[in-house]
């Protein structure tokens, strides 16, 4: 428990220094490669202008705004200091409070990766957060949920979140599945949903 936390803190410090020095600050892990080389580019390649919300910001996600330069890219994080990693359209708040900042049916895509079990932890809060995702996605809009199927990150499992049952599991064409499990010790899973 302590070792991963220390490793995570050291990694964050290292990435912050790299960014400050103008060096690339990116993570090179299997799940990150799936996110950055498959999932995000697939949304970015869409011809119609998408309004996206990326949930939870870090030094290594700061460059995602460039991927979506042709779209309207929003970010949200409750920690005020993380604004520096957020986009031009950044919200300082928890996902569960999205309704204080956006109208219903506002977004085309919401990507919530590495947040469930990483701060979004309490069952009621998790349910409120995904209820908000459903409300603020347009009909046909898509939710990507990336999470680690290891304790304690999976203390609240998506399988048990009633708000996620508001959505339909949807095949994400580039990966040809509704649920993509990345091989590796952190058992990262990407779930794909659509608002019907
Ligand atoms: C491990 S980082 C993940 C960052 C990024 N989303 C990624 O793909 O790796 C977790 C981030 O989620 C943020 N977070 C925690 N609780 C949240 C909530 N209720 N709503 C939105 N973001 C939250 C934290 O402040 C932190 O910046």
Q: Write the pLDDT tens digit of every residue in 12-39.
A: 676 667 666 655 567 889 999 999 999 9
For the Cβ of 94 lying below 6 angstroms from any atom of ligand 1, the answer is: yes
Q: Three-state SS string across 142-192, please?
A: EEEEEEECCCCCCCCCHHHCHHHHHCEECCECCCCECEEECCCCCCEEEEE
Q: Write the pLDDT tens digit of every residue in 75-117.
A: 999 999 999 999 999 999 999 999 999 999 999 999 999 999 9
Q: Residue 63 corresponds to which tokens in the numbers above?
A: 């460059």
Tokens 């697939």 belong to 42
Ligand 1 atom closest to 94 (CA): 20
Dihedral of alpha carbons 105, 107, 109, 113, sign: negative
DSSP 3-state of 163:
helix
Cα separation, 167 vs 173, in Å, equals: 17
CATH architecture of 26-194: 3-Layer(aba) Sandwich (3.40)
Q: Write the pLDDT tens digit of every residue in 148-175.
A: 999 999 999 999 999 999 999 999 999 9
**187 touches 114 (CB < 8 A):** no
The model's pTM: 0.91
Q: Whose CA is nearest to atom 10 of ligand 1?
A: 115
């Amino acid at each position: 428990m302590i070792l991963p936390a220390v490793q995570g803190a050291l990694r964050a410090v290292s990435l912050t220094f790299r960014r400050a020095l103008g060096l690339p600050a990116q993570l090179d892990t299997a799940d990150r490669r799936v996110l950055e080389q498959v999932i995000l580019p697939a949304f970015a390649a869409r011809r119609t202008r998408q309004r996206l919300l990326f949930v939870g910001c870090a030094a290594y996600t700061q460059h995602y705004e460039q991927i979506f330069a042709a779209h309207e890219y929003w970010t949200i994080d409750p920690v005020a200091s993380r604004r520096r990693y957020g986009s031009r359209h950044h919200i300082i708040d928890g996902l569960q409070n999205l309704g204080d900042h956006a109208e219903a049916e506002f977004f085309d895509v919401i990507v919530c990766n590495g947040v469930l079990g990483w701060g979004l932890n309490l069952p009621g809060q998790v349910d409120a957060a995904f209820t908000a995702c459903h409300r603020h996605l347009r009909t046909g809009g898509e939710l990507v949920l990336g999470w680690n199927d290891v304790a304690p990150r999976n203390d609240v499992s998506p399988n048990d979140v009633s708000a996620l049952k508001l959505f339909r599991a949807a095949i994400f064409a580039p990966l040809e599945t509704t649920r993509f499990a990345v091989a590796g010790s952190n058992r990262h899973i990407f779930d794909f949903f659509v608002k019907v």
